[in-house]
Amino acid sequence: MSIPAVIAKPPDRPHNLRDYETTRATFSWEDAAVRLMRFPDGRINIATEALDRHADGERAQQRAIRFLDRNLRPRDFTYAQLRAAANRFANLLAGLEIRRGERVATLLGRIPELYMTAFGALKAGAVCLPLFSAFGPEPLHARLDISGARVLVTTDRLYKRKVAVIRERLPQLRYVLLVREDGGDLPANTLDLQTLLDRASEHFATTPMQGEELALLHFTSGTTGKPKGVMHVHAAVVAHEVTARFALDLQDDDIYWCTADPGWVTGTSYGIIAPLVCGVSMIVDEEEFDAERWYAILANENVSIWYTAPTAIRMLMKAGLDLVRKHSYPKLRFLASVGEPLNPEGVMFGMRAFDKPFHDNWWQTETGGIMIANYAAMDIRPGSMGKPIPGIEASIIRKRDDTVDELPPNEVGELALKPGWPSMFRGYLNDEARYKKCFVGGWYLTGDLARRDADGYFWFVGRADDVIKSSGHLISPFEVESSLMMHPAVAQAGVIGVPDPIMGEVVKAFVELKPGFEAGEALNKAIMATARKLLGVAVAPREIAFATELPRTRSGKIMRRLLKARELGLPEGDLSTLESGA
């Protein structure tokens, strides 16, 4: 199957966003906020929008979340049950005298306790900090310390392995509540979560918050350097709802699966909050990636909307199409991806496997929600991130001292957004200077380079730090990687610029092969020939190296900075989020 320039969409589907231009022209965040806010005086709480209003209404007995354990055994929670569980945790916090604005961290797998504590903390007016359960002691210490967490909810097993050794260095951490996996004696200085929950009432009046009060803390993925702590407020829920309806097309009867872990912003904004605000039923899988398991879940759980990431899509591609064919997916209607550029090959894999394209969308921890997307009712141009969400003004700019110039179509510049949407971050933890530096001439600068075509589609070029400058040309690592992936042997590729005395920089590619292909000179030449044919000699890699595994962040992004540091023998920098390829 070759890659078409446009994948056209039938015009007549009842999608949430049917007419992009008209919706864009008439949309306002004020209207969207008024539609949501449940407290009469304009105050708001994310947990009210996600739980209370459903638990008090028609959806009370509808399934909110189905958890799948290791053996794919389901454990279901209705909206009413999830609210009751969250209320118990909110009461528990009140009993511990945790005050509004204090931080409650979670270090848990994707188990029910994670979801009930997140909502319980929000209900109590505390700030929620979800941490990824695979972090080791030092990254955990850094995050708990800088955020000043008062409470940590984790399991006895994770506590013993990772937290006990850093506990002394966390003077602000007053309470550690444990989910008991191992049983036995309770470690010193900890509390048994279940015992406290059993004693707590399942009735709780959710704290009405000001829209600008802090709700969530999230650390960035650490792809370009040391992870930054990003602050989000309760008003963000307005953007969570709007973006999930527009970009993910969430509708009443959908069964939705977001594969991201809540330790990353996608797993919170679209894996905890937005789906419940929209009142859908979601699937949470406690296990990690496994191609066969994932296809079984999509089929057996009747998933209708699936939100995943390029790294997973590439792993599915690597696993081959035979596995997909073991099931059928009559309910699956919309596929979306975020986190890294989605190569055209990835979009088309959706067509091959499910007869539906993947819809790429773009956003960052800082933006709190999806900003640019391919919509269900809009034609896709494979390789493009799509168009800005109604209510979001995006542009391609070039910085000039304290001002910016907006660039015409097809010129590459920095992707910038007009501040003011509700899920916009309100600061970096302990780094006001860095936060201020993001804003120039009335724009928020994203640090990503992109271009916009004449029809308003945005195309990702690379992170500002990763773009390669060779003989005066700007080369997009994304474009080179996408071309390398057109070769049938290539599973994924990471491309960097290597200093060169004549050209400035030359392109070097690292490729990971699909199973069944043998690294060697002949294959190297063949891949090089494909790249030259598609890209031209000036842009194609000068050198291709085979890698067993490319270094990736735990959120699944290729760490080009690490490929580069290793290539040049430079210090490797902060590796707290390195997953694999070490």
Query: Quick check: 423 binds ligand ATP (CB under 6 A)?
Result: no
Residues 531-570 interacting with ligand ATP (rule: CB under 6 A) = 555, 557
Residues 161-220 interacting with Mg ion (rule: CB under 5 A) = 220
Query: Quick check: 301 binds ligand ATP (CB under 6 A)?
Result: no
DSSP characters over 442-455:
TEEEEEEEEEE-TT
The DSSP H or E segment spanning 87 is helix 79-95
Q: Characterize 233-272 residue by residue with b for buried, 16 or more Cβ atoms within 10 angstroms of its Cβ, and e for exposed.
A: bbbbbbbbbbbbbbbbbbbeebbbbbbbbbbbbbbbbbbb
> Residue 25: exposed, middle, or buried by beta-carbon count in 10 A (0-12, 13-18, 19+)?
exposed
Q: Cβ of residue 41: shortest distance to ligand ATP, in angstroms?
A: 34
Instruction: Report helix, strand and coil shares of the chain as percent, to nearest 5.
Output: 30, 25, 45
The alpha-carbon radius of gyration of the chain (Å, integer) is: 23
> Total residues contacting ligand ATP (rule CB under 6 A)?
25
Q: Enter the tokens of residue 475.
A: 């080369």
Residues 6+ apart with CB under 8 A from 154: 106, 107, 108, 163, 176, 177, 178, 179
Q: Cβ of residue 433: shortest distance to Mg ion, in angstroms?
A: 17
- The structure tokens 């528990």 sit at 92
Residues 6+ apart with CB under 8 A from 560: 223, 463, 466, 477, 494, 495, 496
338 makes contact, choosing from Mg ion, ligand ATP, none, with CB < 5 to 8 Å by partner type, with ligand ATP
Residues 365-384 interacting with ligand ATP (rule: CB under 6 A) = 365
227 makes contact, choosing from Mg ion, ligand ATP, none, with CB < 5 to 8 Å by partner type, with ligand ATP
Residues 428-447 interacting with ligand ATP (rule: CB under 6 A) = 446
Select 251 or 446, whichever has its Cβ closest to Mg ion: 446
| Count of alpha carbons within 13 angstroms of residue 268, beta-carbon side | 32
81 makes contact, choosing from Mg ion, ligand ATP, none, with CB < 5 to 8 Å by partner type, with none
Phi, psi of 418, rounded to the nearest 5 degrees: -75, 120
354 makes contact, choosing from Mg ion, ligand ATP, none, with CB < 5 to 8 Å by partner type, with none
Query: Quick check: 222 binds ligand ATP (CB under 6 A)?
Result: yes
Q: Cβ of residue 226: shortest distance to ligand ATP, in angstroms?
A: 7
- The structure tokens 């080369």 sit at 475
The window from 150-158, 231-239, 340-348, 532-540 that contacts ligand ATP (CB under 6 A) reads 340-348
Q: Cβ of residue 358: shortest distance to Mg ion, in angstroms?
A: 22
The DSSP H or E segment spanning 316 is helix 310-319
Query: Quick check: 178 binds ligand ATP (CB under 6 A)?
Result: no
Residues 6+ apart with CB under 8 A from 545: 508, 509, 510, 511
The window from 70-78, 273-281, 311-319, 358-366 that contacts ligand ATP (CB under 6 A) reads 358-366
Range 30-35 contact pairs with CB under 8 angstroms and sequence separation of 24 or more = 32/238, 32/241, 32/242, 32/391, 33/211, 33/235, 33/238, 33/422
Q: Select the residue interacting with ligand ATP from 460, 498, 541, 544 (CB under 6 A).
A: 460
- Of 419, 468, 469, the C-alpha closest to 444 is 419
The window from 50-58, 238-246, 354-362, 426-434 that contacts ligand ATP (CB under 6 A) reads 354-362
The window from 80-88, 117-125, 142-150, 223-231 that contacts ligand ATP (CB under 6 A) reads 223-231
Query: Quick check: 483 binds ligand ATP (CB under 6 A)?
Result: no
Select 112 or 341, whichever has its Cβ closest to ligand ATP: 341
Select 113 or 360, whichever has its Cβ closest to ligand ATP: 360
Question: How many C-beta neighbours within 10 Å does residue 187 have?
Answer: 15
The DSSP 8-state label assigned to residue 401 in this structure reads T
Select 266 or 304, whichever has its Cβ closest to ligand ATP: 266
What are the distances in angstroms from CA 223 to CA 226, 364, 490?
8, 12, 22
The window from 168-176, 216-224, 391-399, 485-493 that contacts ligand ATP (CB under 6 A) reads 216-224
Residues 30-89 interacting with ligand ATP (rule: CB under 6 A) = none
> Residue 406: exposed, middle, or buried by beta-carbon count in 10 A (0-12, 13-18, 19+)?
middle
Query: Quick check: 243 binds ligand ATP (CB under 6 A)?
Result: no
Select 232 or 234, whichever has its Cβ closest to Mg ion: 232
241 makes contact, choosing from Mg ion, ligand ATP, none, with CB < 5 to 8 Å by partner type, with none
334 makes contact, choosing from Mg ion, ligand ATP, none, with CB < 5 to 8 Å by partner type, with none
Query: Quick check: 108 binds ligand ATP (CB under 6 A)?
Result: no
The answer to whether 458 touches 386, Cβ cutoff 8 Å, is: yes
Query: Quick check: 261 binds ligand ATP (CB under 6 A)?
Result: no
The answer to whether 526 touches 518, Cβ cutoff 8 Å, is: no
Query: Quick check: 339 binds ligand ATP (CB under 6 A)?
Result: yes
Query: Quick check: 229 binds ligand ATP (CB under 6 A)?
Result: no
Query: Quick check: 385 binds ligand ATP (CB under 6 A)?
Result: yes
Give the separation between CA 271 and CA 264, rounded to whole angstroms. 10
Residues 181-210 interacting with ligand ATP (rule: CB under 6 A) = none
| Stretch 498-537: interaction string toward ligand ATP, x if CB under 6 A | ----------------------------------------
Query: Quick check: 263 binds ligand ATP (CB under 6 A)?
Result: no
Query: Quick check: 159 binds ligand ATP (CB under 6 A)?
Result: no
With both helix axes pointing from N to C terminus, report the angle between 310-319 and 344-354 in degrees, rounded to the nearest 10.
Answer: 60
Phi, psi of 215, rounded to the nearest 5 degrees: -120, -40
Phi, psi of 167, rounded to the nearest 5 degrees: -55, -40
Select 82 or 415, whichever has its Cβ closest to ligand ATP: 415
Select 167 or 463, whichever has its Cβ closest to ligand ATP: 463
Q: Cβ of residue 224: shortest distance to Mg ion, in angstroms?
A: 6
Residues near ligand ATP (CB under 6 A): 220-225, 227-228, 338-342, 360-362, 364-365, 385, 446, 448, 460, 463, 555, 557
Residues near Mg ion (CB under 5 A): 220
